[in-house]
Each structure stands twice: as structure tokens, then as C-alpha cells.
A and B are shown apart, each in its own frame.
Chain A
Amino acid sequence: MNGRRILIVVAAVALLILVLPMTVAGEEETTNITIGVNEYVVLNNDIYIEVRDVGTVGISYAEVWFRSSQDAVGTTKNLYRGDVPAIYISGTGLKIEVTLDYIFSNAASFGITSSKALYVTDRKAGKVETEPVTVPKLIIKRTIDPNEAEIGQTVKVTLTIKNTGNGTATDITLAEGTIAKTYKDGCPSTIDDIAAGATERIEYDLKIGDDVQPGTREMPASVLNYKGETGVSDSTESQSSVLEIIAGEVLLPELTISTDPIDYVVTCGDEVPMVVTITNVGNATSEKVYVKGDLPHGVRLKGGELEPIYESIKPDKSEEYEVTLVANEEGEHVVEMNVMWADEEATAVFEFRAEKSGLEKYYVYIIAAIPILLILLWIIKRRREYSY
């Protein structure tokens, strides 16, 4: 049906061209001319334009032979649709710029532009049974929803394929990009034919494997290979996609231990209170929590239980206890406290400095002074014995 209409239109146009010479405006005016294969038109009794072949190889083209009265050999050019205009200058200096507008099965329609008015002064036209060339053109778009997912989660991948061409796309195969250690469920490798102007929507599930490493992953483009009705193959591809894989929430207890000194500097023999706080900062209850304390040499436990055992500590809950230490020796003392749960362990250190008391500092001198004092007392005693 369409073919007949086109033939009528083409015949009518050809008739008008023959009967009514076309006057082209003097300044850069464009004349549209359809020329059948192996036919020609003569412009201004000077330029011959003959179409030798039309076809489609991915893109429509027409092989055109330009010659003129003073250029018998002329030049043959392949004009491509959408390409820049082909320029031809006749032997008399007439310059034309020709673009390929459209091709038919055995004809091509051109737009001819010149600074001079163009007239079709002659034409060789046979019976042109032109059939329009149908070419499918697929556009594919891919979306991932959501594009941020945890390990083990399944996301929905949507492929939207639109045929923007004028022919039906057939033999469509889909080569879908893959992210390592993800698994597609329902992703087709072939797709039914898509008519011109039609849109196909394909959805499939993409499951993120448990052993995948979290992070930003790029999913390569989806590639479509297809053919047109003419059997010409073509392909298209989507943009690559990005999927943010995040680690899934794991329920684990996480304990921290901290110690609070009341006074950093103490005197030897004084009591040193140490407050130990164990907090579960994880998201699961910790069972059987053991606390171990390592007292350094010169420090002893005076009060409290240094190494308690807790049956459980719930998330965001703390256990706190206080012990009393006594340092017998001066110097820096470091008490290491460990909390152990499951196979985990956390450590905190409790540091304080013990100094000798004022009296102890002078023990050496006092000890040294004692015999001197005794001697002195003895001398005084003896002196008093002999003093009257």
C-alpha cells in the first residue's frame, strides 16, 4: 500500500518537474530532485547528474556521476545521508552543493544548492519503481534499581530498547555486561523482533553473590546485535552502569574496655581506685565475657574483683566495676586490662605514677643519720654525765 503511494507521489513529482521548469532563487537556493538509478538530470544545460547505485551499508548512500558539457569525464562520488554536501563545479564554472536526503530502492532524492538559479533542462527518466529502504535503529538504555545494594541482595535490571529506525529489527541478540560474582536471573540472550517505533522492555534480576567484595562496580554496556529487513546487520549498546555494593550488616558483638584513673600521681602505699568499663558497641549480645588484669610488679590488689566474668552484655550496654590498687614501689605502673569474648579481645591500659612519700624520700638520709644521731645522743649523754 505504502509502495503504491510512493510511486504515485514520485510520478506526480516527475511530471511537474518536466512540465514546470523549476526556478531557483538566485541566492543560495536549494532544489530537491529525485533521480532513479541509471537515470540522469541536466541542470541549466550544463551539469549532468546521474545516479548509478543506491544502497544501505549501515548508512544510506548513493553513487552519483557528475559531469558537464565541458567536463565529459566528470567525477563519481558516493554521497552519504547526513554527510557534508558534495561539491561539483562544472566546466563553465557552475557550482553546486549536493546532499543525499533520502534513498529509495532504485532512486535517490537530493538537495542541490547553488548560488545560481537551477533549471532541470533535460532528464532521462525511466519507470521508477522505487521502494523505500527500511532500516531499524535500536537504542538501548539500562537501569539498575537500586543501584546501591548489599552483598547477597538482588537488584532489578531494566533494559529499555527502542527502535527509532523505519524498519523492523530482527535477529536481536543481547550480550549483557557482567559484574564478577553476580548472577543474572531471567536475562534473555535473544529478543523478539522490534518493529519500527516500538519499544521493548526487559527486566531481569541480578543477585549479588555472598563472596563479592564490597565497593563500586561497573557493569559493562549491554550490546544488542540485530538485523534489518534487508538483512543488514547492525548493533548498538547501552551506557555502562555502576552498582554500589555495600557490605551487609553482620550481627556481631563488639566490646571495648576502658579504665579511668582517679589520680594519675599517687603516693606509695596509697589506695588507687581504678574504674573499669566494658561496653558492647556491637549489634549483638556478647555471651560469656571474661576480664583479665595484669598487675605489674610492685602493684597489688587491695579491694574489689579484678577479673570478673559477665554472662552477657547486650548491645549498647556497659558493665562497670571498681577495684582498689596499692603501689608498693615507686615509678610508672601500667596495668593491662583485657576483655575477651568469643575469639575476640580488647585491651586497655591503666597508667599511674607512684611516688615515695616525703618521708620515704629521706629514708636513706634518715638511716644514715640514725647512727650519727645515736652517737650524738651518746656523746650528749656522756657529756651530761660529766657535766655538773
Chain B
Amino acid sequence: MLNILVLGLGQCGNRILDAMNREAFGRGGTFAKYYTRQKFPASVKTIAINTAINDLKGLVDTRARDRLHVPHLHGVGANRTIGKRVFEENKEIIMSEIDKRGTFDLIFIITSAAGGSGSSFAPLLIRELKETYTNAPVVCITVLPFREEGSIFLQNAAFCLKDVIDEKPTGVLLVDNQYLKKYAGDIKSAYDKINNTTARRLLFLIEALNSEMLMVTDLGDLKTVMNGGIGIGTMGFYEASKDSTIKSAILGSFKPSGLLFPTNVYKEGARAMLIIKGDKKYLDLDLITKTIEELSTEIGQVFKGVLVQRGRPRVLSLFTLNSVPELEKLYATAAEAIRFEKERRDRSRNQLDSAFSHIEDLEPIY
């Protein structure tokens, strides 16, 4: 059984982690936590880490002992500089808490790139984890913000993602709020849907990695996939309808509507992993193999895992990309926002200095 560590950093990471814990209760609903335990498909340890204690209190399905408050007022105020300093100051506490969970075969870090705590903690934590758990792949699920959330968040996202990639984790899986918000009406619903979707896909992946499969893929394959391209990827998902074939289900998982980050898989994909679950009657192995062979000609190496499970076919696709045009747009927008912010700040400073100049030669008369 795989020992997997899932760390949720900052408010966004905490909530996706909480959604994973909720999903692990199964269909018990709100009260499941009062009479049952989470049933993770592997030995999964979760820790929600945050400097904002209110965010930790807001979690519902994560046990209290799995919530680590890194004390610094009530958060770092989206200030990555402060966040990094706070991490350094509390690094031993954080690592000690992680160490209590034992050793791990795979580590997921879930964080928003835009916030304060998560975005500042994530790169540093990747570094520490790589040093401490040298054999454990570290995959960072990074959530990109709504573009209109503000220049600070964009700036944080840009620098955070850069810092994360600089620390060379095993892989980075992107989740783009901007891309996904179209699937829900209001912001809260959008967040909930994004969180739940991300949580389910991670659990789907974890279950597949830990199960005996009809056609096997494993942690080694995951590492290989994540090492493909520029080490940045995303996940797609598709649940087949009653009359659809397994091939259409596989191809469905490549559709933009099923991806967590907007990309053209056929064009940008470097390596991929397909995990197919469903009733045996749907699992036409020849067709699966044939379909994957066809995909491999376009995408590159495609690993496949087939898991017999009740229900209609469900396909999780995990990609790494050779290029990420959407990131260029993001960084361009971020740079523009930074420049605009800088100019406005300079203008304001000058205006303030001009105001101060009126009293430059004067002394208070009282």
C-alpha cells in the first residue's frame, strides 16, 4: 500500500484538502464524520497548513490534529515575502508535524499560487520535502487565480509558479480557476465545484496507483509522465454515458471541458497517463489499447491503467505539457498588472512627496 502525504497550503489548499477528506467519507453526507472514518484508497495522510487560523477553523471534514496553524497574526496578508519569512521561522515545526506521519511514497502539495501563505510556503516546502524525503515524488497541484482578482494575486501567482518550478518538484499540475469558473454560476459555487473536482481527481489517481489493475500503471509511470515536457501538466476526466464506447470515454477525457487547465492536449501534450475504471463489460482492452496507440502518435508516451470497478467507464487523464501558452498570457497579464501597479505607486509617491514639499521648510508652531 502506498503511503501518500497530501498537504493543503493556504486557504485554497486547505479547502481542496477538506474536499478530499469529505470525498473519502463516501456517501455518508454531512454526518458521516460522526460515525465513520475516511476511507482513502491508500494510506493517505493529510495536513492542512495555514497562517490564518480562521481558514483552518472553517474546515469541516479535516481532523483537528491534521490542521497545522503556523502562527503569524491572522495570515500573511497575501505578502509572499512575509510568508517566506514565516515559513523559515516555523520550518522545523512544519517538518516535525509532517515527520510524525511517517515516511511517504508520494507527496502532493495543493496550493493556490495567488495567495499569501500557500504561494510562499509551497516552493520552500518542496525544497524541504525533497531534502527530507528524497525518494518520494513531490507533485504540486497549483491553483491559478481568477485574472480579475487583482494585481497582487496575479503577481503572487506569477512569482509563486516560477518559484515552484525553480524548486524542481516531480511535477506541477495546474488548476485554473479562471478556466473553471464558467462551470458554475456564482463565485462560491465555482470554488466549491473546483475544489470538489480537483479532490475527486486526486483521489481517483491515488486509488488507481494503489490498486491491482487489469492493465497496470504505477507510481513509476507517474514519475515518468511528470518528468515529461516542462514538468507542468494538468488532469482531465470523463464519465461515459450509457451508450458511449470506451474509446469515446478516453477521448472525452482529453476534451477541454474535462481539463483543469486550458490546453490543447494533442498539440501541447508531452506524456500522458490514462486511468480507466468501469465495469468489465465496458472495458474492451483491445479497443483501449488501440485507442491509446493512436493517441501515442500524437501525444507521445501514454501510460494506461485499467481498473475493473462497478459502474460506467470513467477515465482520468494526466498530462505533462511541452509548452503552456496560457501561462504566457498569465505572465503577460501579471507583468502588465505589476507595471501598472508600480507606475501607480510611483505616481502616488510623487504626489505624496509633492504634498510633503509644501511643509519642507516649516516647523510646527505648537
A365 contacts partner chain B, Cβ-Cβ < 8 Å: no
Q: Are B60 and A386 in contact (CB under 8 A)?
A: yes
Q: Are A386 and B56 in contact (CB under 8 A)?
A: no
Residues of B within 8 A of A379 (CB): 34
A311 contacts partner chain B, Cβ-Cβ < 8 Å: no
Residues of A within 8 A of B290 (CB): none
A382 contacts partner chain B, Cβ-Cβ < 8 Å: yes
Residues of A within 8 A of B67 (CB): 388
B62 contacts partner chain A, Cβ-Cβ < 8 Å: yes
Interface hits, A346-388 → B, CB 8 Å: 378-379, 382-388
Residues of B within 8 A of A388 (CB): 53, 56-57, 59, 64, 67
**How far, in angstroms, from A382 to B36 measured CA to CA in the complex?**
9
Give min CB distance, A381 to chain B, whole Å: 9
Q: Are B64 and A382 in contact (CB under 8 A)?
A: no
Residues of A within 8 A of B56 (CB): 388
**How far, in angstroms, from A386 to B63 measured CA to CA in the complex?**
4
Interface hits, B40-91 → A, CB 8 Å: 53, 56-57, 59-65, 67
B280 contacts partner chain A, Cβ-Cβ < 8 Å: no
B101 contacts partner chain A, Cβ-Cβ < 8 Å: no
**How far, in angstroms, from A388 to B63 measured CA to CA in the complex?**
8
Give min CB distance, A384 to chain B, whole Å: 7
Closest residue of B by beta carbon distance from A383: B34
B33 contacts partner chain A, Cβ-Cβ < 8 Å: yes
**How far, in angstroms, from A382 to B62 measured CA to CA in the complex?**
11
Q: Are B34 and A378 in contact (CB under 8 A)?
A: yes
Residues of A within 8 A of B35 (CB): 378, 382
Q: Are A387 and B64 in contact (CB under 8 A)?
A: yes
Give min CB distance, A121 to chain B, whole Å: 157
**How far, in angstroms, from A379 to B53 measured CA to CA in the complex?**
24
Residues of A within 8 A of B33 (CB): 382, 385-386
Closest residue of A by beta carbon distance from B31: A379
Give min CB distance, B29 to chain A, whole Å: 14
**How far, in angstroms, from A378 to B63 measured CA to CA in the complex?**
15
**How far, in angstroms, from A103 to B35 measured CA to CA in the complex?**
141
Interface string of A250-287 (1 = CB under 8 A from B): 00000000000000000000000000000000000000
Give min CB distance, A195 to chain B, whole Å: 133
Q: Are A386 and B57 in contact (CB under 8 A)?
A: no
Closest residue of B by beta carbon distance from A380: B34
Give min CB distance, A125 to chain B, whole Å: 156
Most buried by A among B33, B53, B56: B33
Q: Are A384 and B64 in contact (CB under 8 A)?
A: yes
Give min CB distance, B55 to chain A, whole Å: 10
Residues of A within 8 A of B34 (CB): 378-379, 382-383
**How far, in angstroms, from A29 to B286 measured CA to CA in the complex?**
182
Residues of A within 8 A of B63 (CB): 385-386
Residues of B within 8 A of A378 (CB): 34-35
Residues of B within 8 A of A387 (CB): 64
Residues of A within 8 A of B59 (CB): 386, 388
**How far, in angstroms, from A387 to B33 measured CA to CA in the complex?**
11
**How far, in angstroms, from A265 to B98 measured CA to CA in the complex?**
66
**How far, in angstroms, from A388 to B64 measured CA to CA in the complex?**
5
**How far, in angstroms, from A384 to B67 measured CA to CA in the complex?**
13
Give min CB distance, B230 to chain A, whole Å: 38
Residues of A within 8 A of B61 (CB): 386
Interface hits, A52-101 → B, CB 8 Å: none
Give min CB distance, A5 to chain B, whole Å: 149
Closest residue of B by beta carbon distance from A385: B63
Most buried by A among B57, B60, B62, B63: B63
Residues of B within 8 A of A385 (CB): 33, 63-65
Interface string of A211-227 (1 = CB under 8 A from B): 00000000000000000
Give min CB distance, B315 to chain A, whole Å: 33
Closest 5 A-B residue pairs measured CB to CB? A388-B64, A382-B34, A388-B67, A379-B34, A385-B63
Q: List 7 A-B contacts (CB under 8 A).
A: A383-B34, A384-B64, A385-B33, A386-B33, A388-B56, A388-B64, A388-B67
